[in-house]
Structure 1
Amino acid sequence: MTAAAKDRAQRPTPALNVADPALYAHGDPLPVWRELRATAPVHWNDTGVPGEAFWAVMTYEPAVQVYKGTNTFTSERGMRLGSGRHGVDAAAGRMMIVTDPPRHTKLRNLMNSAFTPRRTAQMEQTMRDVLTPLIDEAVETGVVDFVTDIAAVLPAAIVCHIMDVAREEHQAFTDMTSRAFGANLGAEGGPVSVAASTVANAKIFAYYARLLEQRRAAPGDDVVSTLATSEVDGVPLTDAEIVMNCNGILLGANETTRLASAGGLLALIENPAQWQRLRDGDVSPDSAVEEVLRYTSPAMHMKRVARTDTEIGGQTIKAGETVAIWNPSANRDEAVFDRPDRLDLGRTPNRHLAFGMGSHFCIGAALARIELRVMLQLLVDRLSGAELAGPVRTMHSNFMWGVEHMPVTLLPK
């Protein structure tokens, strides 16, 4: 047996594959994560596919170590497990999320102009204007799919605002993003859904190209204009770099808020006493938002690749090996969070990892928090409660964790 083979044989390798999407679409991951935190907090996860094994990080402190270890781990080999090497290589060093410092920091500084506290606060009224009629119409309709009819509409509208998409094009843009991300992440992987996702993604990239052409000709006060007129180290960004980073904003803004909103409402339906605490003012909306983020943890994993040999959670990680931080499990680590499987809207402290940590901390975190706060406030202000009106379907994905179909009846006050 070679030294490498002997080393692999000695690694802690539970029989369960935490990267199997079926666990999240059809099973209950909570007891699985709980067992792994107790017995194999950092373990070698063999997916059964050659070249796709990885170290799974299930607990909080090792997760923080990886997130903060930008000198030890690289993001330029992709952010998610199973990423196609060709696409990752094309984006590495060009798309912010798969770029390491110092270039990552420079790209982030450019894009921060779209997410300043002043600009995000200004969007709060826009959020209310979008959500209020949606909730009122849902009450009148009776049964609605909260995910597609309400939760998915708000983040798409805000992305349109950030990119200054013409109002008459909002619906078409929202439909494209829904098909691109919903079909790809929420389906069983059948050929129809994959084809729909591919076509929708191509249309989105073509739309970005048209936006970029317009902004180069007449720059405005939006993120596309900022990218189109900026330089990094004295060199303008290429069209491909701008389009990739626009898509990064769209993916981050759409998925996290949609899934946290839907998962948050489901959690409140299942925990009516917590809904009452929020209604009575016993907990602040900001505290409620943080707990919803921890409890739902939409970004299931984040991938890194070791630059050098290192040690995480008592395990030796070899240079070139993949590490995946399992965010929802780390956010339920009993060593950090008291009764972690319990929804507690007043939880404090609440140092969750729903937005990651370190240099790659989610650039749109402040915006997502405001969106969730407005959503929760309007639900509490305008409803007496909500009831499930049919079976809930969770996503068939090991990357995003959450609900993709949730029929509900919203009850008026």
Structure 2
Amino acid sequence: MVSTTVDLTDPGLWALPDTPALVEELRREAPVHLTDTVDDGPVWSVLSYQHSADVLRNAAVYSSESGSLLGAGAGQTPVGSGRMMALTDPPRHRELRSPANPFFSPGGVRGAARSIAELAGELFDRAVEQGEVDLVDVVSALPLAVMCDLLDVPEKDREMVVRVCDIAFLGRTPEERRAGHQQLIPYLMHQVMLRRTDPRDDLISMMATYRVRGKLLPVEDVVLNLDNIVVGGVQTVRHTAAMGLLTLVQHPELWQQLQRGEVGMDSAVDELLRWTSVGLHTLRTASRDTELAGRQIRRGDRVAVWVWSANRDPEAFDRPDLIRLDRSPNKHLALGLGAHYCIGAPLAKAELGALFSAALERVSAIEPTAPPQYNRSIINFGLDHFPVRLTPR
């Protein structure tokens, strides 16, 4: 059995400069390690691309129902188990996903692309006028606004919803973030009840009136799934955009490459998703005894796919230590794989492309005015603050 004393669940680990070399050494030793974690007990850590893909594709053996993320504590089952998209396996997973699919399909996103680009442009116009800004705040505003549109939040409520979401997603402590969710969930529940009797053409109405085998989903289940969609939609874009811009600041040759139009934005977004891999891990639980990379996995064992490591595996990517904005193919796992591939992937990519394009069109230089502050999260690793001075283009 290959075990390691390195606790990959230590949130302080991922901002250290020597972490890439450490993870590479662990992966070379073995693709699967048994990790003793402080909060979650023994966890199988999957570090290679191929074995990560094997786990993510095989929902029949590696279940999401007992939790999709580390941090809940050993033996703890999440509240939404079997009720939320993120915490169900097929076929139930497909049933919960169906009503939301039309709002995140490539066709639907293409229809909204112009308004997303316009909003991103407005955000950077204001940022350039201010001169000195926190880029985390700038990029966070876009997914929040887009989510309000998807939910069709009434104009009179938008300021409140954005403020509550700011607390839920950007709060400085877990207690602050929890308080934000405790305000958001009652609001969503109220809206679900209203739209069951007066549905509109929006995501809340679709989820609220959707029937599975002839029965409406319980209100609590609708709210849990909406809250999960909002969290995922905002956090992935926020952290990838901020970390992506930091990457471009740290590698000015890439910024110039994009400004000269030498690389397409679609491939650049995919490479920045791979490189940043802000969703560091995905958790599964073995539903039966199995074998993985020669390791005996027992029923009930927890298996953590370390996406960050898989996306830097030289067996899957040519020179993964280099940022190649034109990398092709680029089958990264930053947005998942298999049944749980991110439902909002087309929208997230459209928002990221719009934010990067708006910055490139309006800004000639981004100068940090203080060191960026990394968060302490293994769920969405990114920046709490990125203070910069923007020079207009």
- Specify the SS of the correspondent of 1:385: strand
- Specify the SS of the correspondent of 1:404: strand
Structure 2: which 5+ residue stretches go unaligned? none
Distance 1:332 1:358 in 2: 20
1:173 paired residue number = 161
Q: 1:392 aligns with which of 364, 372, 375?
A: 372
**Is 1:160–2:135 an aligned residue pair?**
no
**Is 1:311–2:291 an aligned residue pair?**
yes
- Which range is displaced more, 272-281 or 151-160? 272-281
Q: 2:2 aligns with which of 4, 12, 25?
A: 12
Task: Compute the TM-score of the two structures, normalised by the length of structure 1.
Answer: 0.91
1:239 partner letter: V
CA contact (8 A) 1:263 1:403 kept: yes
CA contact (8 A) 1:52 1:82 kept: no
Q: Deviations over 1:312-370 (max 9, x none)?
A: 12211111100000111110111111221221111111100001100000000000010
1:175-324 to structure 2, matched below 5 A, reads 175-183=163-171, 187=172, 193-324=173-304
Q: 2:139 aligns with which of 133, 145, 151?
A: 151
- Which range is displaced more, 11-20 or 362-371? 11-20
Please report how far the alpha carbon of residue 84 of structure 1 lies from its aligned counterpart in structure 2 after TM superposition.
5.8
2:332 paired residue number = 352
CA contact (8 A) 1:25 1:397 kept: no
CA contact (8 A) 1:301 1:325 kept: yes
Please report how far the alpha carbon of residue 261 of structure 1 lies from its aligned counterpart in structure 2 after TM superposition.
0.5
Please report how far the alpha carbon of residue 208 of structure 1 lies from its aligned counterpart in structure 2 after TM superposition.
0.2
Matched length: 393
CA contact (8 A) 2:41 2:74 kept: no
CA contact (8 A) 1:24 1:394 kept: no
**Is 1:95–2:66 an aligned residue pair?**
no
CA contact (8 A) 1:267 1:343 kept: no
CA contact (8 A) 1:298 1:401 kept: yes
1:352 partner letter: H
**Is 1:81–2:61 an aligned residue pair?**
no
Please report how far the alpha carbon of residue 32 of structure 1 lies from its aligned counterpart in structure 2 after TM superposition.
1.8
Distance 1:194 1:403 in 2: 15
Q: Deviations over 1:230-284 (max 9, x none)?
A: 1112221010010000011111101110011001111111111111111112111
Q: 2:343 aligns with which of 354, 363, 366?
A: 363
2:156 partner letter: E
CA contact (8 A) 2:72 2:78 kept: no
Please report how far the alpha carbon of residue 167 of structure 1 lies from its aligned counterpart in structure 2 after TM superposition.
2.5
Q: 2:125 aligns with which of 136, 140, 159?
A: 136
Runs of 4+ in structure 1 deviating by more than 3 angstroms, as ranges, are 25-28, 84-90
- Specify the SS of the correspondent of 1:398: coil
Structure 1: which 5+ residue stretches go unaligned? 1-10, 188-192
> Could you say if the C-alpha distance between residues 178 and 84 of structure 1 is closer, same or farther in structure 2, counting changes exceeding 3 Å?
farther
1:21 paired residue number = 11
> Could you say if the C-alpha distance between residues 91 and 178 of structure 1 is closer, same or farther in structure 2, counting changes exceeding 3 Å?
same
2:98 paired residue number = 109
Distance 1:28 1:161 in 2: 41
1:376 paired residue number = 356
2:58 paired residue number = 69
Distance 2:76 2:146 in 1: 27
> Could you say if the C-alpha distance between residues 201 and 256 of structure 1 is closer, same or farther in structure 2, counting changes exceeding 3 Å?
same
Distance 1:195 1:400 in 2: 17
1:101 partner letter: P
Distance 2:162 2:379 in 1: 22
Distance 2:49 2:8 in 1: 17
2:315 partner letter: A
Please report how far the alpha carbon of residue 27 of structure 1 lies from its aligned counterpart in structure 2 after TM superposition.
5.8
Distance 1:341 1:145 in 2: 28
Distance 1:122 1:144 in 2: 31
Distance 1:233 1:27 in 2: 52
